[in-house]
C-alpha cells in the first residue's frame, strides 16, 4: 500500500464555475486528503477542477482522469449536482460512464449522512469503477461532502488498488482484515462485502440476471434509477449480453404517442416571402397590407363608358377621348359624358366611367386624318349595366382582411405564395424546419459508390442515400453524418456528439439524428448502450410490435449549446435532441422513417399547430402519412403477432373511380426487411393488423400514402 494514491476532486457547480473564488468544497476536501493521516496512507496532493452542471463536460473531464492507462487518478470524487433540482445532473452524467457500479459505497455514504440529517434522503449519489479508477459523487455542501467522504475514506485505498487490478485473493488474505478493523467492519459478518461489492464479477452479475437460459430475462426491478433495466454493457461481451430484449414491446400507437410527447414545440422565425417559403407552415395569421386591386380596374379589353343613370343607352357612335393601358403610368384623365376611353384588361378606369364595353361589341367608325388612331367608335350593344366588367378596389382582397391562417402550409401549388405577394406581404413568421442528420452504423458498410468489388461480408451503405433522398423530398435540410464503425469503440459516440454540436460549415448542428443499424440483439449492436451509458441519454422505447421495424429505438440525448454556466431551466429543458435509431435492414429503415420520423418532423415544422378557427375547407395539415382505404387486388397472408406495413402500389381506377392496392412482392422474400426493392415503385404501406390467416381479394385495407396515387 506504499504506492502513491492520486485523487481528483471535481467541483460541479454553475456558480463556482463562474466565480472559482467562491468555491468552498475544493479546499474542504483538499484538507482531508492532505491530513497527516491520509498522507500516511499514500494519498498525494489532490487535483481540483471546476465544471458547470453539464452532462457532457462532466463526462469529458472525468474521462480525462480515468481513460489514460498510463496517467489516471485512482480516485475521482465529484461534489455537487446530486440533488433534485432540474440543473442537478451529476448522477445522470456519472452513472452512464461507470463500467461497474458500487452500490455498497452509496449505502455507506447515505447511512453516514442519515445519522446527521434526514435530508440525506434528498441526495442521489452514485459510485463505481471506470477503467482503473474509483468514482464517488458527494453532495455539494462542504460539510456534507466532508461527512460523506470521511464515512468511506478508510476503505478507499483498498478499493482503488483492487480497481487498478491487484490480485484480489492476495488482498483479501492480507490487508483486508486490517482495513476492516480500521473501518469498524467485522470480517466475520461481512461475507457479502467480500464476495460481492468489491469483486469484479459483481457488476455483470447485477446487470445480467437474465443471462441464464430460458428463464425470465428481464432484470429484477430495482428501485435506484441506475439499476433500471438498461442496454447491454458492451464491455460484458457476447456471453453476458441479454438473451432477450429488456425493452418492452410497444404498439405502434403507443410509440407514436411517446414520440409526439418528446418532440419539442416548434420555434418560429421571420422569413422573406419567396419561393423558398414553399413547404413552410405559417406561425401567424396574415392580414392583407394592400387591397387587390388597389384601383378600379377593367376586366376586359374595350372601351370605358358612362352608362346613363336610366340604366341603358350606350348604343351609338362616340369619340375616343383617351387611352388607358394596364401600365404603371399615372391615372387616365376623367371621362366627359358623351365620350369613351379605350382601355385594356387590368388598366385603371378613368374617373366618371362606370362600365366597360368589350371591343368585340364595337366597330371602328372613323380614324384620325393620318389613319393611325381611332377618332370615333360605334358601340353596338345597349345591354351594358353600370358596374359591368369592372373590379372594384379591394374586391379580390380587401385591405386588412385575413388572407392566411397560422398553421397553413405554403404549398407548391402556388396559391398561398400568390396571395401573400399580391397583397404586398414581404415577410412572414413561419415555424423553423428541423435539420436532420443521417448516420449509418456498422463495420460491414462500404460507401455506396466505392468502385471496388465487394469482398467478404461487405455491404453497400444504401440506407444513408435512400433516407437522405426521402428527407430532402419532404423538404428538410439534411446533414450527411457518414458511417460510424462498431469498432474501434468510440466512433459512434464521437459521431453522435459531433452531430449535435455541429462539425463545421457543411455539417451544422442537427435537431434530429437518425441512425440505422446496431439496434437489435447482436453483441455489436451498440446504439442503445452508447446513448444510455455514454451520452447520458434516455431510451424512450426500444422495441415496437411491427413488421418490419421491430427493433426501432427512440431516445433523447441532453445537449447544451454553450458551456456558459447558469441559464434558465426552460432553455435547458428545450436543449435535448431526438435520436431515432432505426433498424439496419434497408426496408425496415425506410418504413420506420416514414412511420415514426415523419410525424415528429411534421410536429417540429408546425403542422400540428393548426388554427382553431373553423375552416370551410378540409385542412390537409395533420401529421404523418395520410391514410386512405383501398381494395386489395389479391389476398395477402397475415402475420400472427405483429402489425405488418406491407409495401404496395395504390392506383385510382378511371373505370369505377375506386382505389386499388397491389403488393410489391408477397410475403416471404417479397416483403423481407432486407429487400429495399420492396419499396421501389411503392407509394403506400398497407396496415395489416395481425391475424390467423389471410386477408382476401376485394377486402378494404388501410393504406398509408407515401406518394401520390397512380392513375390506372
Ligand atoms: N436475435 C435476434 N436477431 C434479430 C432480431 C431479434 O429480435 N432477435 N431482430 C431482427 C430484426 S427484425 C431486424 S430489423 C434487424 C435489425 O438489425 P440492427 O438494427 O441491429 O442492424 P444491423 O445488425 O446493424 O444490420 C442488419 C442488416 O442490415 C444491414 N445494414 C445495416 N446498415 C445498412 C446500411 N446503411 N445500408 C445497407 N444495409 C445495411 C446489415 O448489413 C445487416 O444485414 O435485426 C434482426 N436480428
Ligand atoms: O422488424 Mo425487422 O425490421 O422485420 O426485419
Ligand atoms: Mg444487429
What's the complex ipTM? 0.98
d(CA 675, CA 123): 52
Whose CA is closest to atom 25 on ligand 1? 584
pTM of the model: 0.69
**Residue 470: enclosing H or E segment and its boundaries?**
helix 463-473
Q: Of 657, 647, 700, which Cα lies nearest the Cα of 678?
A: 647
Residue 200 pLDDT: 36
- Judge if the beta carbon of residue 438 lies within 6 A of ligand 1: no
Q: Answer whether 7-204 and 251-264+433-604 agree in fold.
A: yes
Q: Which numbered ligand comes closest to the C-alpha of 584?
A: 1
For ligand 1, is residue 522 a contact (CB within 6 Å)? yes
Predicted local confidence at residue 197, as pLDDT? 34
- The DSSP code for 96 is G
> Residue 481 Cα, ligand 1 centroid: separation in angstroms?
19
ω before 334 within 30° of 0 (cis)?
Answer: no
How is 641-694 classified by DSSP, letter by letter? SSEEEEEEEEEE-TTT--EEEEESS-TTTTT-TT-GGGGTT--EEEEE---SSE
CATH of 268-285+401-431, one of 3.90.105, 2.60.40, 3.10.590, 3.40.1350: 3.90.105
User: Taking the CB of residue 554, how many other CB atoms lie within 10 A of it?
Assistant: 25
Pocket perturbation via mutation, ligand 2, pick of 255, 463, 546, 547 by most ligand atoms within 8 A of CB? 547
pLDDT tens figures, 663-678 = 999 867 888 899 888 8
Residues with Cβ within 8 Å of residue 694, at least 6 apart in sequence: 635, 636, 637, 638
Res. 181: pLDDT tops 70: no
- Reported as a pLDDT band with limits 50, 70 and 90, residue 695 is very high
- pLDDT for residue 328: 66
Ligand 1 center to residue 582 CA distance, Å?
A: 9
- Left if phi > 0, otherwise alpha if psi is -120 to 50, otherwise beta: which for 69? alpha
pLDDT per position as a tens digit, 56-112: 889 989 998 999 888 899 999 999 999 998 889 999 999 999 999 999 999 999 998
CB of 520 closer than 6 angstroms to any ligand 1 atom: yes
CA 200 to chain centroid? 39
CA angle 688, 625, 702 (to 5 degrees): 30
- Hey, whose CA ends up nearest to atom 4 of ligand 2? 548
HEC-encoded secondary structure of 152-165: HHHHHHHHHHHHCC
Other Cβ atoms less than 10 A from the Cβ of 68: the count is 11
Indicate whether residue 463 lines ligand 1 (CB < 6 A). yes
DSSP-derived letter for residue 35 is: S
Residue 353 CA to residue 302 CA, distance in Å, equals: 13
Task: Provide the pLDDT confidence category of residue 319 given band limits of 50, 70 and 90.
Answer: very high
Judged against a pLDDT cut of 50, whether residue 281 lies above it is answered with yes
Residue 189 and residue 101: Cα distance in Å, rounded? 22
Q: Which CATH architecture has domain 7-204?
A: 3-Layer(aba) Sandwich (3.40)
How many other β-carbons are positioned within 10 Å of the β-carbon of residue 690?
A: 14
255 within 8 A of 541, measured Cβ to Cβ: yes
Beta strands 268-272; 100-101: pairing state: unpaired
The predicted pLDDT at position 37 comes to: 87
Ligand 1 pocket, residue 644 CB under 6 Å:
no
- Top CATH class, 251-264+433-604: alpha beta
C-beta separation of 663 from 695 below 8 A = no
Q: What is the mean pLDDT of residues 451-474?
A: 95
Question: Which residues partner with 320 through β-bridges?
Answer: 340
Please tell me the distance from the alpha carbon of residue 338 to that of residue 485, in angstroms, as a whole number. 88
Give the span between the Cα atoms of 121 and 102, in whole angstroms.
18
**Phi, psi angles (nearest 5°) of residue 22:** -80, -10
Read off the DSSP letter of residue 69.
T
Residue 567 has pLDDT above 80, yes or no: no
CATH architecture of residue range(s) 627-711: Beta Barrel (2.40)
Which residues, 6 or more positions from 255, have their beta carbon under 8 angstroms from its beta carbon? 541, 544, 552, 554, 596
* Cα–Cα distance for residue pair 114/136, rounded to 1 Å: 17
Looking at all shown ligands, the one closest to residue 523's CA atom is: 3
DSSP state of 613: S
- Ligand 2 shell residues, CB under 6 Å: 547-550, 583, 585, 588, 673
Nearest to 260, CA basis, from 530, 627, 540: 540
- pLDDT tier at 166, thresholds 50, 70, 90: low
pLDDT at 573 over 70: no
Compute, in degrees rounded to 10, the torsion defined by CA atoms 666, 667, 671, 674.
-140
Q: State yes or no: pLDDT of 179 exceeds 70.
A: no
Helix spans in 14-66 (H): 14-18, 25-33, 36-40, 55-66
Q: Over pLDDT 90: what percentage of the chain?
A: 63
User: Residue 461 CA: which ligand is closest?
Assistant: 1
Q: Say how many Å lie between the CA of residue 440 and the centre of ligand 1.
A: 12
Mutation test of ligand 2: which of 521, 525, 549 has the most ligand atoms closer than 8 Å to its C-beta?
A: 549
Using DSSP, state whether 600 is helix, strand or coil.
helix
- For 202-236, what is each residue's pLDDT tens digit? 333 333 333 333 333 333 333 334 444 578 877 77
Closest CA to ligand 1's atom 22: 517
pLDDT at 335 over 80: yes
Q: Which numbered atom of ligand 1 lies nearest the CA of 585?
A: 28
Does ligand 1 have an atom closer than 6 angstroms to the CB of 465?
A: no
- The predicted pLDDT at position 616 comes to 57
Cβ partners under 8 Å of residue 5, min gap 6: 41, 42, 43, 44, 74, 75, 157, 160
Query: How far from 372 is each of 283, 304, 641, 663, CA to CA, in Å?
Result: 56, 20, 86, 70
Query: Which residues on adjacent β-strands are paired with residue 538?
Result: 556
pLDDT for residue 3 is more than 80: no
Three cell numbers written together for 334 = 376623367
Domain residue ranges of the chain, discontinuous segments joined by +: 7-204, 251-264+433-604, 268-285+401-431, 297-391, 627-711
Ligand 2 atom closest to the Cα of residue 583 is 3
- Dump pLDDT digits (tens) for 623-649: 999 999 999 999 999 999 999 999 999
Distance CA 348, CA 329 (A): 10
440 lines ligand 1 (CB under 6 A): yes
Q: How far is the CA of 220 from the centre of ligand 3 (A)?
A: 25
Which of 517, 520, 588 most suits a substitution to test ligand 2, by most atoms within 8 Å of the C-beta? Answer: 588
462 alpha carbon to ligand 3 midpoint, in Å? 16
Residue 49 and residue 11 in contact, taking contact as beta carbons nearer than 8 Å? yes
Sign of CA dihedral 601, 606, 611, 612: positive
Alpha-carbon span 649 to 705, nearest angstrom? 9
pLDDT at residue 667, as a whole number: 65
The whole-number average pLDDT for the span 565-593 is 79
Cα–Cα distance for residue pair 362/344, rounded to 1 Å = 14
Q: From residue 591, how far is each of 222, 302, 543, 644, 678 by CA, in Å?
A: 36, 59, 15, 10, 10
- Give 494's DSSP letter: H
What is the arithmetic mean of pLDDT over 510-519? 96
Would you state the pLDDT for residue 671? Answer: 87
pLDDT of 186 above 50: no
Nearest-CA residue for atom 3 of ligand 1: 521
Helices in 67-188 by DSSP H: which ranges?
90-94, 103-116, 142-152, 156-163, 168-173, 175-183
pLDDT at position 40 over 90: no
In ligand 2, which atom is closest to the CA atom of 549? Answer: 3
The rounded mean pLDDT for the chain is 86
pLDDT band at 122 (very low <50, low <70, confident <90, very high): confident
User: Counting ligands in written order, which one lies closest to the CA of residue 482?
Assistant: 1
Cα of 671 to ligand 2 centre, how many Å?
10
**Which range among 287-296, 519-528, 593-602, 650-659 shows the weakest confidence by mean pLDDT?**
519-528
Reply yes or no on domain 297-391 having CATH 2.170.190.11: yes
Does position 2 have pLDDT exceeding 80, yes or no? no
Ligand 2 closest atom vs CA 673: 5
Q: Cell triple for residue 670?
A: 417479397
- Whether ligand 1 lies within 6 angstroms of the CB of 144 is answered as no
Q: Please give the helix or strand (H or E) that residue 498 lies within, else none.
A: helix 491-501
DSSP string for 260-320:
HHHSPPP-EEEEE-SGGGTT-BBSS-EE-SS-BSSS-EESSSEEEE---TTS----EEEEE
Reported confidence tier of residue 198, pLDDT bands at 50, 70, 90: very low
Asked if residue 711 lies in contact with residue 697, where contact means CB atoms within 8 angstroms, the answer is: no
How far is the centre of ligand 1, averaged over its atoms, from the C-alpha of 466 (Å)? 16
C-beta neighbour count of 185 within 10 angstroms: 16
Which residues have CB under 8 Å from 558's CB, separation 6+?
Answer: 55, 56, 89, 92, 535, 536, 537, 575, 576
User: Listing from the earlier edge strand, what are the strands of the sheet with 355-358?
Assistant: 355-358, 302-305, 340-343, 316-324, 374-379, 362-367
Select the more confidently predicted residue: 603 or 198. 603
Confidence of residue 431 (pLDDT cuts 50, 70, 90): very high
CB distance 377 to 303 below 8 Å: yes
Ligand nearest to the CA of 252: 2
Q: Taking each helix axis as running N to C, give the angle between helix 175-183 and helix 156-163, from 0 to 180 degrees, rounded to the nearest 10.
A: 140
Q: What cell numbers appear for 394 in the block?
A: 379591394
Q: Strands 100-101 and 7-12: what pairing?
A: unpaired
Ligand 1 binding pocket includes 482 (Cβ within 6 Å): no
Is 44 in contact with 2 (CB distance < 8 Å)? no
Amino acid at each position: 500500500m506504499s504506492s502513491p494514491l492520486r485523487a481528483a476532486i471535481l467541483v460541479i457547480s454553475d456558480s463556482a464555475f463562474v466565480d472559482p473564488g467562491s468555491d468552498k468544497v475544493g479546499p474542504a476536501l483538499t484538507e482531508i486528503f492532505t491530513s497527516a493521516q491520509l498522507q500516511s496512507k499514500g494519498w498525494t496532493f489532490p487535483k481540483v477542477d471546476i465544471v458547470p452542471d453539464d452532462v457532457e463536460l462532466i463526462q469529458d473531464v472525468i474521462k480525462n482522469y480515468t481513460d489514460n492507462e498510463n496517467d489516471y487518478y485512482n480516485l475521482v470524487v465529484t461534489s455537487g449536482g446530486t440533488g433534485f433540482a432540474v440543473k442537478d445532473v451529476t448522477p445522470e452524467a456519472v452513472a452512464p460512464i461507470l463500467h461497474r457500479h458500487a452500490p455498497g459505497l452509496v449505502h455507506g455514504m447515505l447511512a453516514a449522512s442519515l445519522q446527521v440529517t434526514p435530508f440525506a434522503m434528498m441526495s442521489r449519489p452514485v459510485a463505481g469503477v471506470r477503467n482503473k479508477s474509483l468514482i464517488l459523487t458527494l453532495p455539494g455542501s462542504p460539510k456534507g461532502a466532508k461527512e460523506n467522504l470521511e464515512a468511506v475514506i478508510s476503505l478507499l485505498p483498498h478499493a482503488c488498488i483492487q480497481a487498478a487490478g491487484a490480485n484480489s485473493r492476495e488482498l483479501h488474505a492480507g490487508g483486508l482484515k486490517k482495513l476492516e478493523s480500521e473501518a469498524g467492519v467485522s470480517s466475520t459478518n461481512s461475507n457479502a462485502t467480500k464476495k460481492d461489492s468489491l469483486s469484479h464479477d459483481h457488476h455483470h452479475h447485477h446487470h445480467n440476471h437474465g443471462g441464464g437460459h430460458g428463464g425470465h430475462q428481464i432484470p429484477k426491478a430495482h428501485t435506484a434509477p441506475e439499476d433500471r433495466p438498461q442496454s447491454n454493457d458492451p464491455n460484458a461481451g457476447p456471453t453476458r449480453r441479454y438473451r432477450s430484449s429488456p425493452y418492452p414491446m410497444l404498439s405502434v400507437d403507443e410509440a407514436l404517442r411517446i414520440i409526439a410527447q418528446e418532440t419539442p414545440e416548434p420555434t418560429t422565425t421571420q422569413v422573406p416571402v419567396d419561393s423558398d417559403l414553399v413547404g413552410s407552415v405559417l406561425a401567424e395569421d396574415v392580414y392583407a397590407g394592400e387591397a387587390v386591386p388597389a384601383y378600379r380596374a377593367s376586366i376586359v379589353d374595350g372601351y370605358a363608358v358612362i352608362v346613363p343613370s336610366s340604366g341603358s343607352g350606350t348604343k351609338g357612335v362616340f369619340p375616343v377621348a383617351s387611352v388607358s393601358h394596364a401600365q404603371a403610368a399615372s391615372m387616365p384623365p376623367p371621362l366627359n359624358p358623351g365620350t369613351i376611353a379605350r382601355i385594356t384588361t387590368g388598366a385603371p378606369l378613368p374617373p366618371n366611367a362606370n362600365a366597360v364595353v368589350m371591343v368585340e361589341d364595337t366597330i371602328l367608325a372613323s380614324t384620325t386624318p393620318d389613319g393611325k388612331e381611332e377618332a370615333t367608335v360605334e358601340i353596338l350593344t345597349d345591354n351594358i349595366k353600370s358596374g359591368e366588367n369592372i373590379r372594384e378596389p379591394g374586391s379580390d382582397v380587401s385591405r386588412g382582411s385575413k388572407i392566411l391562417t397560422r398553421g397553413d402550409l405554403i404549398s407548391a401549388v402556388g396559391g398561398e405564395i400568390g396571395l401573400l405577394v399580391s397583397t404586398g406581404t414581404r415577410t412572414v413568421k413561419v415555424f423553423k424546419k428541423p435539420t436532420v442528420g443521417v448516420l449509418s452504423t456498422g463495420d460491414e458498410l462500404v460507401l455506396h459508390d466505392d468502385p471496388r468489388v465487394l469482398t467478404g461480408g461487405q455491404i453497400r451503405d444504401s440506407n444513408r442515400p435512400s433516407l437522405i433522398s426521402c428527407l430532402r423530398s419532404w423538404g428538410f435540410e439534411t446533414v450527411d453524418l457518414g458511417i460510424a464503425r462498431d469498432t474501434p469503440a468510440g466512433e459512434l459516440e464521437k459521431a453522435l456528439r459531433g452531430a449535435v454540436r455541429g462539425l463545421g460549415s457543411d455539417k451544422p448542428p442537427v435537431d434530429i439524428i437518425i441512425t440505422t443499424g446496431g439496434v437489435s440483439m447482436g453483441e455489436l449492436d451498440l446504439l442503445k448502450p452508447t446513448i444510455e451509458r455514454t451520452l447520458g441519454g434516455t431510451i424512450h422505447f426500444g422495441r415496437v410490435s411491427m413488421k418490419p421495424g421491430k427493433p426501432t429505438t427512440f431516445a433523447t440525448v441532453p445537449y447544451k449549446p454553450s458551456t456558459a454556466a447558469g441559464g434558465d431551466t426552460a432553455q435547458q429543458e428545450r436543449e435535448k435532441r431526438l435520436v431515432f435509431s432505426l433498424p439496419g435492414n434497408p426496408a425496415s429503415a425506410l418504413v420506420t422513417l416514414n412511420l415514426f420520423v415523419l410525424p415528429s418532423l411534421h410536429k417540429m415544422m408546425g403542422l400540428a399547430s393548426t388554427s382553431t378557427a373553423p375552416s370551410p375547407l378540409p385542412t390537409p395539415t395533420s401529421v404523418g402519412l395520410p391514410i386512405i382505404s383501398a381494395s386489395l387486388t389479391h389476398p395477402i397472408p397475415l402475420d400472427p403477432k405483429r402489425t405488418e406495413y406491407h409495401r404496395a402500389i395504390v392506383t385510382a381506377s378511371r373505370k369505377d373511380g375506386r382505389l386499388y392496392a397491389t403488393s410489391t412482392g408477397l410475403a416471404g422474400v417479397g416483403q423481407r426487411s432486407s429487400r429495399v426493392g420492396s419499396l421501389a415503385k411503392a407509394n403506400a404501406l398497407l396496415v395489416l393488423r395481425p391475424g390467423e390467416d389471410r386477408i382476401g381479394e376485394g377486402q378494404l385495407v388501410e393504406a398509408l400514402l407515401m406518394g401520390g396515387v397512380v392513375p390506372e
